[in-house]
Amino acid sequence: MSKNNIEKDEKFSTKFAIAYNIGQFPDQLSYQTFTFLIFTFYFTVVIKEVLPITIGFIIWSIWNAINDPLMGALSDRTKTRWGKRKPYIVAGLGPLCIIMILLFTPPTDNVVSSFIYFLVIICLFDTFYTMFSLNNISLFPEIFQNIEHRAKAQMIRQIVTVFCLIFAFILPTFLIPNMNVSGLPTEVYLSEYISAGIVIAILMAIVGIIFIKFGIRERVEFSEDAKTAPPFFKSLKISLKNKSFRAYVIYGLATWYVFGMLPTMVPLFGRFVLDIEKDAFELGLLLGVAFLSAAIFTVLWRYVAVKAGVKRAAIISAATFIITLFPLMFISDTIMAYIAFFILGIGLSGAITFNDLLICAIVDDDELKTGVRREGGYYGINALVIRFSTIFIMVTISIVFTSVGWAVFDPAVVTEETIFGLRSLMCIFPAIALGIGIISMSQFPITKEKYDQIKLDLEKLHAEKREKLT
Q: Is the pLDDT of residue 117 over 90?
A: yes
Distance between CA atoms of 404 and 414, rounded to whole angstroms?
9
Cβ pair 291, 165 in contact under 8 A: yes
pLDDT at position 400: 93
The residue ranking higher by pLDDT, 465 or 328, is 328
Query: Both ends of the chain: CA-CA distance in Å?
Result: 11
Average the pLDDT over 232-246 and give the result.
80
Q: Residue 424: is its pLDDT beyond 80?
A: yes
Q: What is the pLDDT of residue 232?
A: 66
Highest mean pLDDT range out of 28-37, 47-56, 139-148, 312-321?
A: 312-321
Residue 277's pLDDT band, with cuts at 50, 70 and 90, is low
When comparing pLDDT for 124 and 290, which is higher?
124
CA 100 to chain centre: 16
Q: Residue range 99-125: average pLDDT?
A: 92
Q: How many CB atoms lie within 10 A of CB 226?
A: 18
Architecture of domain 15-214+230-469: Up-down Bundle (1.20)
Tens of pLDDT, residue by residue over 349-380, are: 888 788 878 988 898 898 888 888 777 778 77
Average pLDDT for the chain = 84
> Of 263, 242, 465, which is closest to residue 359 (Cα–Cα)?
242
Our measurement of the distance from residue 420's CA atom to the centroid of its chain's CA atoms, rounded to an integer in Å, reads: 27
Give the max Cα distance, the chain. Answer: 72
Query: Using alpha carbons only, what angle is made at residue 60 by residues 237 and 239, rounded to the nearest 5 degrees?
Result: 15
Confidence of residue 7 (pLDDT cuts 50, 70, 90): very low
The pLDDT value given to residue 69: 79
Flag whether pLDDT at 429 surpasses 60.
yes
Pick the closest to residue 274 from 340, 321, 349, 326 (CA basis). 340
Instruction: Give tens-digit pLDDT for 193-225.
Output: 899 899 999 999 999 999 999 888 776 655 555
The pLDDT-based confidence of 180 (bands split at 50, 70, 90) is very low
384-406 pLDDT per residue, tens: 777 788 889 989 998 999 998 88
- ∠ CA 258-101-213, nearest 5°, is 85
Note the pLDDT of residue 225.
Answer: 56
How much of the chain exceeds pLDDT 70, in percent? 91
Arithmetic mean of pLDDT, 122-138: 90
Label residue 183 by pLDDT band (50, 70, 90). low
Greater confidence (98 vs 464) lies with 98
